[in-house]
């Protein structure tokens, strides 16, 4: 099975704290730096779980780009998309089982529809990061990618990604995509409203609700929840809910979003 993802490839900086940050003071931390971004994470987990993975996105031409590109290729992911500008950076702070993120997306949102190559979307499934619908021209490129993939028989899915940025433009873009499957946390599901699709609602430690059916989470020791939803999406796309929940548990038991 070939699964293509579209979105951001960024430099991920993970910071794990045993105690909360104190403004104006110092706290010990454990850090990890490497490739990240929702679409990149899903692609890496797809490859880890036995699928053929392809990432599509606009990537930078700086030293950070060399690092993250090499890491994703080493995981067996086929890399596609124009090289231009700078690599984004996402800082994720993990503490007490929760995460808070600060995101600089670099050149990723500048991917244009006319930069897409139809051959990139010869796949069984196309998974699009919800961050792709926050800005133009990437929003238009994401919709066009969905059309190219569907014309080749692929199913199309989207992860809403964040509830705070769901506005009318975001809703219009996702509805224009006409996804077959939508991944969303509970707040994202509530914020978006109605859409005719198969909904997979992620509930953290309470598991998921897939098309109205509840599935319990797989028990694990939680080290870092960063990327657990991306791991679940990859597992689901490769072989359904059970593999998705197993992948999410594996992700939570280690630091960082990549397998």
How many angstroms separate the CA atoms of 236 and 178, rounded? 19
How many angstroms separate the CA atoms of 201 and 69, rounded? 31
Specify the DSSP class assigned to residue 130: G
Q: Which residues contact 180 (CB under 8 A, 6 or more apart)?
A: 155, 156, 157, 197, 198
DSSP assignment of 37-105 equals -HHHHHHHHHHHTT-EEEEE--B--SHHHHHHHHHHHHTTEEEES-B-S-EEEEEEEEETTEEEEEEEE
Specify the DSSP class assigned to residue 254: S
How many angstroms separate the CA atoms of 9 and 78, rounded? 13
What's the gap between Cα 140 and its chain centre? 18
Catalytic status, residue 165: no
Q: Which residues contact 102 (CB under 8 A, 6 or more apart)?
A: 90, 91
Q: Which residues contact 10 (CB under 8 A, 6 or more apart)?
A: 35, 36, 37, 40, 68, 87, 88, 89, 90, 103, 104, 105, 106, 108
Residues identified as active-site = 230
């Amino acid at each position: 099975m070939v699964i293509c993802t579209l979105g951001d490839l960024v430099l991920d900086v993970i910071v794990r704290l045993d105690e909360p940050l104190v403004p104006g003071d110092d706290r010990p931390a454990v850090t990890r730096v490497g490739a990240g971004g929702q679409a990149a994470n899903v692609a890496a987990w797809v490859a880890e779980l036995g699928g053929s993975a392809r990432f599509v996105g606009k990537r930078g031409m700086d030293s950070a780009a060399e690092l993250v590109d090499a890491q994703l290729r080493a995981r067996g992911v086929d890399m596609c998309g124009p090289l231009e500008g700078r690599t984004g950076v996402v800082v994720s702070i993990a503490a007490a089982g929760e995460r808070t993120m600060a995101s600089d997306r670099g050149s990723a949102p500048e991917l244009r529809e006319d930069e897409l190559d139809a051959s990139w979307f010869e796949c069984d499934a196309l998974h699009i990061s919800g961050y792709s619908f926050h800005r133009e021209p990437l929003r238009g490129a994401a919709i066009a990618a969905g059309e190219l993939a569907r014309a080749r028989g692929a199913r199309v899915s989207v992860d809403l990604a964040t509830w705070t940025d769901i506005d009318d433009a975001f809703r219009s873009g996702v509805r224009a995509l006409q996804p077959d499957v939508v991944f969303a946390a509970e707040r994202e599901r509530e914020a978006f409203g109605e859409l005719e699709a198969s909904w997979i609602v992620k509930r953290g430690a309470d598991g998921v609700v897939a098309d109205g059916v509840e599935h319990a989470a797989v028990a694990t020791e939680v080290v870092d929840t960063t990327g657990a939803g991306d791991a679940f999406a990859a597992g689901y796309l490769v072989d359904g809910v059970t593999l998705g929940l197993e992948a999410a548990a594996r992700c939570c038991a280690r630091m960082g979003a990549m397998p």
